[in-house]
Amino acid sequence: MTLFKKSPLIKSVVFALTAITPTGLVFAACEYADANLYNDWGWNPVDMVSCPPLPDPNDSCDYSDADSYGGWGWNATTQMSCRPLAPVASECIDSDGDGWGWNGIASCLIGEEPTLNDHLILIDNPGATLYSYQRTPDDAASYFQYWGADLHSGDSGRYSDVFMRDNNTGAINVLSVGENNFEANNDSYLSGISEDGNTVLLASRATNFTGTIANGVEQLYLLDIPTGSFTQVVNTVRGTSPWSYVRGLLSKDGNYVAFSTEAANIVDGDNNSTSDIFIFDIANSLTTRITANPYGEEANDTSYLRDISADGRYVLFVSRADNLLSTAEFSSGLYVYDRLNQTNTLVRQIDDLNQATLSDDGSIVAFEYRRSTGMTLAWINLLTGEVGSIDTASEGYSSSPEVSPDGRFVAYSSTKTDLVNDVIVSGDQSLLYLTELATGNTTLVSQSPDGREANNGVYSAEFIAGGKYLRFNSSASNLHSEDNNTNYDTFLYEIPQ
């Protein structure tokens, strides 16, 4: 049974008293009937000034009516409604005699003990944080990025490396290894894996990978797991700076790499001095710049890579350029590139449009944009033209949408407090939610086993293992019964079928 939020019991009362406020001022004749509406401040009709909140110790608050009034109680000392207690599973209390009660977390049968179940899988590592964690759909292998020195011999721990774990045997192998099995001489980052786990895309500033050309500028590499061979996506010897940023995405079939970079030597005629989007055909070793208009003119402003479809046909990107189409007068546009037709299609033209994501087949797009109440989210079905909102219109920020591979769900972070009815949310940190597009049903993913919100924020949410799991990182300490460290741990939420 789910207990939905209800308005707290407001018992209006006006009384006169003399009290010492936290600032030492004496006030009198204060009306606190509007306390709940105005953060517990009242109004003094004698002095015509606001009065500070009264002390409201929990030990003077009666919560016996919690089941009837959404967890709110009544303070007999101050004659005011008191806020709900921090939700903690406790004794089941039946306040209305119907045989059902409230244990601080959920509705319960009288005499029933609270049940605490870990609804998340903890991928715990005592030494250091695992980043960009990936899995194959059959759970046979995991891939991750790690800074520690304890996973393979000869690792100094100076640089980030990419690892593969055999989940059946527990064996861990380092993938970003230099020539003659020496340690890679700079950081490497996991950018993606093919669905069969045989191809890994990584970015690295290392210069000692076998058979590659590098100068310390970040490069993209494809690693063939069965053979162990490295393929450099683009032999870029010259870069814009030692800290050039390259973002790469690997299609799930392992045949295409989409990437963005400011480097001007990837293709001929790159003179716009800004970030462009490219697609690399692995089988044919062919690189194409996709941020150009039908007349072959390059984009006249920055473009940002966002996603690639499973078969590499569609690439989703955001661009500030105004010359990709014949009519474009806006600060940012969301585009889909069709590799087969070699065309760009404008999905939406919205100011301050930022993050966006694509379903595996390229039909569902979810995106983040700004409106008067804050950052919010929407989705579009490119096949039918159907458009919908993902979160409510309340104030707050929702960001970083991720569409599930089948287009059924969107995961996102939000500080909004009214997205779910069964957990009290403070809005103090960004929490992770999952919304089913067809029904609008929303689940708070980052909650503790006893039904509380995470006590710290989340980041890097992504659907992995063919959409079997939603992976995220968090330093929250209350998300799993066995989480006993303060690391940014990796958690998996199994997607309902």
Query: Buried (b) or exposed (e) across 287-302, using 16+ Cβ within 10 A?
Result: eebbbbbeeeebbebb
pLDDT digits (tens, 9 = 90+) for 97-120: 777 776 665 666 676 655 668 899
- Cα–Cα dist 356/400, whole Å: 8
Nearest one of 85, 73, 99, 97 to 1, comparing CA atoms: 99
| Higher-scoring residue by pLDDT: 299, 263 | 299
pLDDT digits (tens, 9 = 90+) for 355-392: 999 999 999 999 998 876 677 899 999 999 999 988 87
In angstroms, the Cα distances linking 16 to 22, 78, 178, 241, 441 are: 18, 11, 78, 70, 47
Q: Provide the residue type at 248 as one letter.
A: G
How do the domains of the chain map onto residue ranges?
Answer: 1-115
Nearest one of 338, 327, 191 to 254, comparing CA atoms: 191
| Higher-scoring residue by pLDDT: 244, 214 | 214
pTM: 0.76
Backbone angles phi, psi at 179, to 5 degrees: -60, 145
Neighbours of 397 (CB within 10 A): 17
Lowest average pLDDT, out of 95-109, 347-361, 453-467, goes to: 95-109
pLDDT, position 53 = 59
Q: Which residues contact 296 (CB under 8 A, 6 or more apart)?
A: none
Q: Which residues contact 395 (CB under 8 A, 6 or more apart)?
A: 373, 374, 416
Q: Decide if 348 contacts 318 (C-beta within 8 A).
A: no
Average pLDDT, the chain: 80
pLDDT digits (tens, 9 = 90+) for 244-279: 567 899 999 999 999 999 888 888 888 998 999 999
Q: Provide the residue type at 181 as one letter.
A: N
**Is residue 201 predicted with pLDDT exceeding 50?**
yes
Q: Decide if 231 contacts 221 (C-beta within 8 A).
A: yes
- Cα–Cα dist 84/221, whole Å: 53
pLDDT, position 86 = 46
pLDDT, position 93 = 74
Backbone angles phi, psi at 318, to 5 degrees: -110, 140
Lowest average pLDDT, out of 81-95, 114-128, 308-322, 398-412, goes to: 81-95
- Characterize the bridge pairing of strands 199-204 and 73-75: unpaired
Nearest one of 162, 105, 205, 175 to 448, comparing CA atoms: 105
Structure tokens that stand for 374 in this block: 């804050």
Question: Quick one: average pLDDT of 456-463?
Answer: 92
pLDDT, position 294 = 86
- Cα–Cα dist 91/101, whole Å: 9
Q: Decide if 48 contacts 40 (C-beta within 8 A).
A: no
Render 56-111 in DSSP notation, one character per residue: --GGGEE-TTTTTTTT-EEETTTTEEEPPPP------B-SSSSSEEE-SSSEEETT
Considering the chain, what percentage of its residues have pLDDT values greater than 90? Answer: 45
pLDDT digits (tens, 9 = 90+) for 161-191: 999 999 999 999 999 988 888 888 999 999 9
Q: Decide if 393 contacts 405 (C-beta within 8 A).
A: no
Lowest average pLDDT, out of 100-104, 200-204, 220-224, 296-300, goes to: 100-104
133 pLDDT band, cuts 50/70/90, is: very high
Question: Quick one: average pLDDT of 333-339?
Answer: 95
In angstroms, the Cα distances linking 255 to 209, 224, 281, 282, 286 are: 22, 12, 7, 6, 11
**Is residue 10 predicted with pLDDT exceeding 70?**
no
pLDDT, position 5 = 28
**Is residue 299 predicted with pLDDT exceeding 90?**
yes
In angstroms, the Cα distances linking 439 to 385, 408, 412, 443 are: 18, 10, 16, 12
155 pLDDT band, cuts 50/70/90, is: confident
Q: Which residues contact 61 (CB under 8 A, 6 or more apart)?
A: 73, 74, 75, 82, 85
Question: Quick one: average pLDDT of 200-228?
Answer: 88
Out of 121-125, 237-241, 346-350, 399-403, the most confident range is 399-403
77 pLDDT band, cuts 50/70/90, is: low
Q: Decide if 362 contacts 317 (C-beta within 8 A).
A: no
| Higher-scoring residue by pLDDT: 439, 158 | 439
Question: Quick one: average pLDDT of 283-287?
Answer: 92
| Higher-scoring residue by pLDDT: 443, 60 | 443
26 pLDDT band, cuts 50/70/90, is: very low
Q: Which residues contact 455 (CB under 8 A, 6 or more apart)?
A: 429, 448, 476, 477, 478
pLDDT, position 48 = 62
Q: Decide if 20 contacts 27 (C-beta within 8 A).
A: no
Question: What sign results for the dihedral spanned by CA atoms 78, 80, 84, 89?
Answer: positive
pLDDT, position 37 = 43
Q: Beta-strand (E) ranges in 241-300?
A: 247-250, 256-261, 276-281, 286-289
- Cα–Cα dist 377/22, whole Å: 42
pLDDT, position 380 = 96
- Cα–Cα dist 254/195, whole Å: 8
| Higher-scoring residue by pLDDT: 352, 33 | 352
**Is residue 84 predicted with pLDDT exceeding 70?**
no
